[in-house]
Chain A
């Protein structure tokens, strides 16, 4: 606390192999105190292995992990002040709620009065003051979640690791818990490291997100950064929805390039940050559905304007989409606003699509997936 330059958790060049499989490759990051950090990646990308190394259940083959500036490499898991909320919570079914929370305090040898006071205090903070005497099976899914967090927070950890704890909950509860987790993190003011494959969880809750793929960090940044300025094709494709085409660069004009897709559509776009493309390169082009403008019954004109016909409407309230088939045969997803009136776009309507070159990003093919 006295030295703000020391980060809560720092990993440098961490590698881990299982046999010939490289689960984690050269991962480095640093998490400032009191922030909500997410590691986002598809299943099997190595994020759970990384978390298990931080908790001490696996040893990295090379690299260093330090907590509050001190390396924890040869510290056994029970001596690390890193607590973990497990995927299935791992609450102890043979103990009641009070005993579950008191377990950690008993392990460090706290006396009875202190245990009582601290358990009650943490139960108040997770807004479940009266459940101490209940058995675990009597709790609802959301309550179990909060008890699992309370069980860790009562020990005042430097870092709290959360391994996809919302995976087992139903959709409505998951949405509510996202907000609640963020509030809890604010309240406890502890560094949370949250592992998930669900991009909306990561984007909604996090201060910073690391996108992980194939054992590597593809990009670390704020949610907005990742969404609007992806640095790799994988991030562009994985975070948020995108229309994606492959094509060839036909011309480079200053910051912008012109890409002709395999289906014959010609589009103006800008290369992703740090990606350099030249004429003749094969690239992947990404355009987000909400950046495509749809105009009914008009002929296409201007830059990045394309003529098409609505194939299908995917109605989902505020997130409704239209699938538009272009003259070249390609399908474009477009966000549309459906007001329920006669002017709404309908299947078989002729429409013009357009988007700004700033919102279309391309990466050299072969990068990422």
Chain B
């Protein structure tokens, strides 16, 4: 059976307590189906921390103030390659996008494809078959990437994603810095069939005194062919390629 949009091979939730535990089991694909197209309810350039202010360390506060000063001067390439080069925003900044996100969910893997500049992130899930490494794959573990390496697992109806192995050349949003020790933990769930919630937790002991979080929500969008977006065309104009 060809995989239909919004349906998955059976995942089961079992009900009952005590000696009845597990007696009534039913497919839960409908409850944990993140598949589809989503758009941020309140797109914004900055992470809004849950509760109190971002708990910067002294070094983190200084780096943050430096970024603000550089932004004020307009020297984007000194600190924000997204603005100056269309480089990948990385995680979690890409989750702030005002454009659509398409989630492809399979039992052992989830891929988020972003309308913005066609970037993508892969979340591996338990049970993924042994992965082979080609040249790029083998070296990828030696060098941090903008999106990091994401591993997920289900806790009931919540997808818990842990991401590490980041490049230090990105920002958490348009200003907040981080380093190589960044760890992002996301708890992704459906609040209802049309609303996706991503509760993000940020840890980086060099830049923050304690973990802190921010919550983003997304509305389900109609299925669609996502228009091709090429950031460099907008930033630099059309490339010198023949058009005949």
**Same complex:** no
